[in-house]
Amino acid sequence: MIFESELGETREVDTFGRWHYANGKVILFGEHAVVYGVEAIAAAMPNAVRACIASRSGIDADVSRLTIPSWGVDIHLNAERADSEGAESLLINMCLLIVRELDVGHDQDDRHFHLKIESELPPASGMGASAAIAVASIKALSEYFGRTLTLEQINTLALRCEEIAHGTPSGLDNTLATYGGVLRFKKMEGGMPSVFEPIALARPLTLLVTHSGKKGYTAETVARVRRNKEQFPEKHLALFARVADISARGRAALEVGDESLFAVLLNENQQCLRELGVSCDEIERVLTIAVCAGAEGVKLTGSGDGGALIIAPGRAVDAVQTKLRDEGLMCFQLNIGGCS
């Protein structure tokens, strides 16, 4: 018989069903401004997170369990622990919300599961990990509870999970996690559903994704921008108007395949993000390394103050990738707009 150690105990290993997938994302243009109704452009990182599920068995089978091995997460989904501080309580609350929504008509204490998540995305990286975990979990749990959800229902429930994680999310991350592709996305006012649409790129585009080495906390950064906007409304409205213009020109550049303009617009968007106060020394250091190695355009992606950067490397794909890796930074290629 196979055994493993969990939470200091030894028990039988659960038998898992099939994997359910969700996408990560990079925001090409418009983070933060998208929260205030500016159209953003974002691209999925396909199937970066997956979830599978098993019915509990063994000696502690009277409680559900969530594991994310690559994040070192191994927790019991107890309602009593949902009030504790930190990332674990966010995950617990997210799972409890999903179960409440899906396990309608049953006694929830009856059915215990082990939800296992594999994530290629680091936490607090600006790559949409929390939304992807929500979507993959919803897919796995809906099958487990015998429910069939439309993509729209998955997306709506994932947005509620994002509200637990981030407070006032635009809805962009869960939309990319659910639908994938390269999308234009606009949050609507007054509780209206967001609108989004795939963008047809004239030709596939190779980007590089790297990391500043510092964690970026979305809820904090979004709240900081909100406070600053309340204090300096005109400055922020002017910045968001600039981002709206960049985002519109960025979409057009993708649609006609103008890679040089695309790279210039990344740099312009990064300048707006600096003026918004969401860049940081760690981001600027990595940006400088990439530019010195020949990158044409670089910006932070996601909420900033840490987290990931996206790079339009121009002809210097290999040189930029090698230089960043020589500096000990993770760096991978993301090909967008292909027929995946």
Chain positions contacting ligand PMV, by CB under 6 A = 31-32, 34-35, 126-128, 166, 169-170, 172-173, 218, 222, 302-303
Cβ distance to ligand PMV smaller for residue 115 or 177: 177
Q: How far is the CB of 266 from ligand PMV (least distance, A)?
A: 16
Element (H, E) at 89: helix 87-102
Partnered with residue 277 across adjacent β-strands are: none
Least distance (Å) from ligand PMV to the CB of residue 284?
A: 18
Which of residues 132 and 264 has its CB atom nearest to ligand PMV in the complex? 132
| C-beta closer to ligand PMV: residue 133 or 208 | 133
Of 150, 124, 130, whose CA–CA distance to 139 is shortest?
150
Q: How far is the CB of 238 from ligand PMV (least distance, A)?
A: 18
Residues 6+ apart with CB under 8 A from 214: 280, 282, 283, 305, 306, 307
Q: At 301, phi and psi to the nearest 5?
A: -135, 135
Helix axes 218-231 and 151-166, enclosed angle (nearest 10): 70
* CA distance linking residue 123 with residue 87, whole number of Å: 10
Min CB(302)–ligand PMV separation in Å: 3
Query: To the nearest whole angstrom, how small is the minimum distance from the Cβ of residue 187 to ligand PMV?
Result: 8
- Whether 255 and 201 have beta carbons less than 8 Å apart is answered as yes
Give the integer Cα–Cα distance in Å for 242 and 128: 24
CB of 67 vs ligand PMV, minimal distance in Å: 22
Nearer to ligand PMV, 50 or 166 (CB): 166
Residue with tokens 């559903």: 193
Q: Which is nearer to ligand PMV, 35 or 295 (CB)?
A: 35
- Residue nearer to ligand PMV on the CB measure, 131 or 316: 131
